Structure 1
Amino acid sequence: MTTPQKAAPNAARRKEASRRAILAAAFELLQDVGYARLSIEGIAARAGVGKQTIYRWWPSKGAVIFDAFLMLSEGGGGEPVVLPDTGDLAADLTAVLHATVAELNDPRYDQPMRALATEIAHDPELADAYRERLDGPMKEAKRQRLRSAQRAGQLADDLDLDVAVEMIWGPVLNRWLHRSGPLTAEYADRVIATALNGLRPRPSGR
């Protein structure tokens, strides 16, 4: 009688499970101790792996937190970013900026995003990864939505889309980063109105 052979362990599945355990541990530890006290050794202990396992995949704790943030924000799906396009530019921007305000005010996101902002300012490699994997795709999605509005005649044909993206999203991110005032949906509404209506005086109607 032949003894059945056991299936070989799925190495790729084990690797992915370990990677997710490390990212989850890093994210949980960040909430518990803050970024300044976060360490690779602490992450390894929380995840139940050796620190060399972490260094094999990530060069720094900032890189670990970046991947942990991506896992949280994408839900593990990694689907391309697409902004709503209902044909009503103001309504679509309002929906997106309200969601951005809610995310920035969410305690789950606040710590990792502030930690990333700090690390990106000092780590050129992490800054490059951020631009390639998150900021770049997000900006392209924003440009695509504004480009659609151009085609619909809702924005000027010669509008600089890169500057327009900064004008719409920049004030919200700046207020959050510098804690320069309350970050609310009402503030986002004022940003959108100012960006879309321009800074010039409007006709008096006479």
Structure 2
Amino acid sequence: MADKAAPDSSRRSERSRRAIFDAALSLVGEVGYDMLTIEGIASRAGVGKQTIYRWWPSKAAVLLDAFTADTDEDYAAGLPDTGDLAADLKFVLRATADEFNDQVFQAPYRALAAAGANDEELSRTFVARLLEPGIRVYVERLRAAQEAGEVADDIDVRIAAEMVLSPFSQRWLMRTGELTYDYVDTLVDQALRGLRPRG
């Protein structure tokens, strides 16, 4: 009788991890962050809660890993560079507005932002794994535009990136207005007026 191959524990662990991520993301949208529990995540994922505690210390840590699982892939390509900075920024920010207006995306992001306000370590990790990589791709695109003469030489491109992204984030987080294509286009146009070379 032929020997059976030993179960691949790494594949089983990856399936469990993915199930936990899916459970955390779906549940936070259904019940909200306050009602989200490790027990609930474990039950939805079909794993024991001890499995979750073996990998993560808290529900916030689970949710953060779930939400940022594909961040590296998302940012790897950077922003498009067609040679037209305004068009490229509008294209990406319109897509970002679509994402931020999607309830599936909103629930975990808002939950993590709120939890981070009261948890310094979570906030630092959230910034390092999600916000900083996002800002970095804008900085790189603005630096390329600066080298191409589309942005003034004396502009700090890090601050320039924040000038574009901060009003967008503030409007969404504080719900002071809708994230529409018209808003995104106006935001880009007005920001670039201050960034372009004089004359």
Q: What's the TM-score once normalised by structure 2's chain length?
A: 0.92
Please point out which of 8, 11, 23 is paired with 2:9. 11
1:85-118 Cα distance to aligned partner (Å, 9 max, x none): 1110000000011011111101110111100101
- Tell me what 2:67 maps to: 69
* Pair 139,65 (structure 1): closer, same or farther in 2 beyond 3 Å: same
1:115-159 Cα distance to aligned partner (Å, 9 max, x none): 010112122222222222222221111110000001101101121
2:189 pairs with 1:198: no
Aligned-partner Cα distance in 1 for 2:162–2:132: 13
Aligned-partner Cα distance in 2 for 1:76–1:167: 24
Question: Max radius of gyration: which structure?
Answer: 1
Partner-residue secondary structure (3-state), 1:198: helix
2:166 pairs with 1:152: no
Segments of 4+ moved more than 2 angstroms: 74-79
CA contact (8 A) 1:81 1:138 kept: no
Aligned-partner Cα distance in 1 for 2:120–2:194: 35
- Tell me what 1:140 maps to: 136
Aligned-partner Cα distance in 1 for 2:147–2:24: 44
Please point out which of 171, 175, 181 is paired with 1:175. 171
Q: What's the TM-score once normalised by structure 1's chain length?
A: 0.89
- Tell me what 2:54 maps to: 56
Aligned-partner Cα distance in 2 for 1:171–1:133: 21
Structure 1: runs of 5+ lacking an equivalent: none
- Tell me what 2:25 maps to: 27
Size of the aligned set, in residue pairs, is: 197
Equivalent positions of 1:184-195 (< 5 A) are 184-195=180-191
CA contact (8 A) 1:98 1:185 kept: yes
Percent pairwise identity:
53
- Tell me what 2:36 maps to: 38
RMSD, matched Cα: 2.0
2:81 pairs with 1:85: yes
Amino acid at match of 2:118: H
Aligned-partner Cα distance in 1 for 2:30–2:177: 26
- Tell me what 1:121 maps to: 117
Moved more, 76-85 or 50-59: 76-85
CA contact (8 A) 2:139 2:157 kept: yes
Using the TM superposition, give the Cα deviation of residue 45 of structure 1 relative to its aligned residue in structure 2, in angstroms: 1.3
